[in-house]
Structure formats: C-alpha cells, structure tokens
Chains A and B, each alone.
Chain A
Amino acid sequence: MVHEWALAEAVLATASRAAGGKIVKSLKVVLGELQNVDVEILRFAISELKRGTDLEAAEVEFEVEPAVFKCEVCGTEWRLDDALLNDREREAIHFVPELAHAFLKCTSCGSPDFRVVKGRGVWIKELVSNG
C-alpha cells in the first residue's frame, strides 16, 4: 500500500470496527517489507490520528515481515535485498507493491513470472480491548 498517512487511517478504521466501540488497549500491526513503509512516519501518523478516538490510549506495535519471492519457472526463492531496484522503482512499489512484477525478475533464470511468497500486505495481527 499506501502512503503512511493513508495506511494509518486504514489501520485505525479497521481496528475501531473490530473493537466494536470498546476501548482498544493495544494493537500489533504486521507490515510486509514490500510495502516499504516508513515505520516512524506511520507511528507518528497513527499517534496524530488516534487522538479523541477509541484508540487514543492504544499501544501500537509494528512487525516487519521480510519479502520472499519464488520463481514460477525455475523455483528459485530470493529476497528483496537480492534485487537491484532504483529509487523510482522502490517508490512505485511503495505505493502499489504489485508493481514489483514490473521491476523484478528471477535472480537465477531472469523470468518475470514469480509470486510473492511473503512480505506483502498489511494486517492487524492482534488487538486487545477492554471488556
């Protein structure tokens, strides 16, 4: 996804809906590495946006899941660090991670046909609320 502020809005809206009006004490958010999210900006955005909401007092913890890709042709697995990406490509992937399919190729056979095994998406892994 998403720019950090958009992501912050999305996380808070989802957590609030899941809590069903209860006060949220803590949240654990997993960030796929492919999203290339700046955790500090996200932390700041959430702290700003949660003021005056059911999540105001919530402790928010982040976990980054490393990205792993697997070639559909030769089966090679590789990680984002193994790929050579310029700044423009990283930025594009930051906004729409599927654009990895435009810029990455198998590090072994060069095929553009691969799947993202891990490290994409953002999800709330854990939510603790009062009551």
Chain B
Amino acid sequence: MDPRLAVIPFRLGGVKRIIVVCSGKGGVGKTLISTLFALLASQRGKRVGLLDLDFHGPSVSVVLGCRGCTPLEDKGLIPVEVAGVKVMSLDFFAGSAPLPLRGRDATEALIELLAVTRWGELDLLVVDSPPGTGDELLDAVRLLKGVEALVVTTPSKLALSSVSRLVGLLKAARVPVLGVLENMRVEDDVNVQRMAAEWGLVYLGWLPYDRDLERALGDPSALFSTSVSRSLERILETANLLA
C-alpha cells in the first residue's frame, strides 16, 4: 500500500480545472505558452497554479525569473508565488544540477511532488509537460483526474509528425483536447490548420515568432508586453479559456 497515492486527490481537491500543455516535440514553446497562460489567467483574477513537469529540463522558473526561490515548508510544500501564480518545479531543489532520471524514477518524482505540494484553492492548474509521450505525460494523465490537454506545435513537418503521435495517445487515453495552438509561425500556410482538421481537433490560432521575446524572459511584467503574449491572450479569450 503506497500512502502517497491516497493523498494526491486531497492535495488537488481544491483545484477546479487542470490543463496540461503538451507537444510531441521539444522546442516548440510549451514552457513559454504554459507560463504565459498562467500569468494571463492570473491577471484576470483567477487563482492559478503552474506545475513544471519537465524534470530533465525544468525552465518555468527561468521564464518567470524565480530560479533560486524555495517553496515554503508548512505541512507539505507551499508553492513559490510569482506575479500571483503559484509555481512548483524541481528546479527549486535541483538548481543547475543535472537530474538523470530513468522512467520509474520520473514516475516516483511526480508522485512525490503531487503528494507534497499544497496548492490550496485554484481555479486553474496549468501543467507544463516535457516533450514526447513518455512517463511524465502518461503519469500526468493517470494521476491528474479530469485533466484536459492543450496541444502546441510549430508548422514544421518534424513537429507535426511527433504531435500526430501525441494526439493519438491523448485520444486513446480519452483526454479531452481543447485544441491545437500553432507557435513560431513565420509565413502564411495552412499546414497546422489542415492537420488539426485531420486530427478532428479545433485549431485555436497562431503565435508569431517573436525576436524580442528573449529579452523579456525572467521578467513577468515584460512578458505581458510581448507580441506573443498579446496574441496568446486573444486566442485564449476566443477559446473561452480565460473566463
């Protein structure tokens, strides 16, 4: 009998909605979109959490500028709060040390993190997932009851091919997919829209490739003024995900 599994539903009992941001491919902007989504929802007065499940390359804290922060200890761990968003990441503990986790260890780390984190009352928990269809994503689907997915891709054929597999997995696992978000669009084409239709999913819209984004990383207020943030806000609004 593993006591940790019994406590996870209690830890998430005050969370109204969980959305995992995922993609089959790395480098498509999942972390940035997860973080901006959380920030934008918080700006609208939502109570928001952000869970970084990219154990091998946790970088939510880099986007938010909260590396080196430490969750408070109070009958569990209280997430770090940045710009109104409650954030939990292994980066707070591992710092810059590499974290070479094999499959089962990644599962164990997720169980520990879910069992120990006290999110409290949240309207929305955004989950930044690692690339692919590996343990962290499978475990998130298994352990985060009622989780929904937001799929991110770039227009590249390489990304679309991987995302196609991810969509197959999400459908097989009966995870509701809110739609497909196209990131880093550099020219007009309809590849992603066409693929979304083929997958039977809603095409939510596209975000531009933003050369100025790098300068805003680490500063939540600067992130709000990027063209990516403004575009994402419009898309999320249209999709009714900020209401």
Contacts and interface: CB of A to CB of B under 8 A. Distances in A.
- Asked if chains A and B come from one complex, the reply is yes
Contacts of B75: 3, 5-6
A102 B98 contact: yes
Contact of B97 (A2, A97, A102, A113): A102
Interface string B52-83: 00000000000000000000010111000000
A94 to B, nearest CB: 10
Interface in A11-28: 11, 13-15, 17-18
Interface in B95-134: 97-102, 105-106, 108-109, 112-113, 115-116, 118
Contact of B2 (A5, A101, A115, A123): A123
Interface residues of A, number: 33
A96 B3 contact: no
A18 B100 contact: no
B6 interface: yes
A3 B3 contact: no
B109 A96 contact: yes
Contacts of A123: 1-3
B97 A9 contact: no
B199 interface: no
A84 interface: no
Q: Is the interface of A mostly helix, strand, loop or mixed?
A: helix
Interface residues of B, number: 30
Contacts of A6: 7, 75-76, 115-116, 118
B93 interface: yes
Contact of A101 (B1, B77, B101): B101
Interface of A: 1-3, 5-7, 9-11, 13-15, 17-18, 92, 95-99, 101-103, 112-113, 115-116, 120-124, 127
Interface of B: 1-7, 10, 73, 75-77, 90, 93-94, 97-102, 105-106, 108-109, 112-113, 115-116, 118
19 contacts: A1-B112, A2-B115, A2-B116, A9-B10, A10-B7, A11-B3, A14-B1, A15-B1, A92-B94, A95-B112, A96-B116, A97-B112, A99-B90, A99-B93, A99-B94, A102-B98, A102-B99, A123-B2, A124-B3
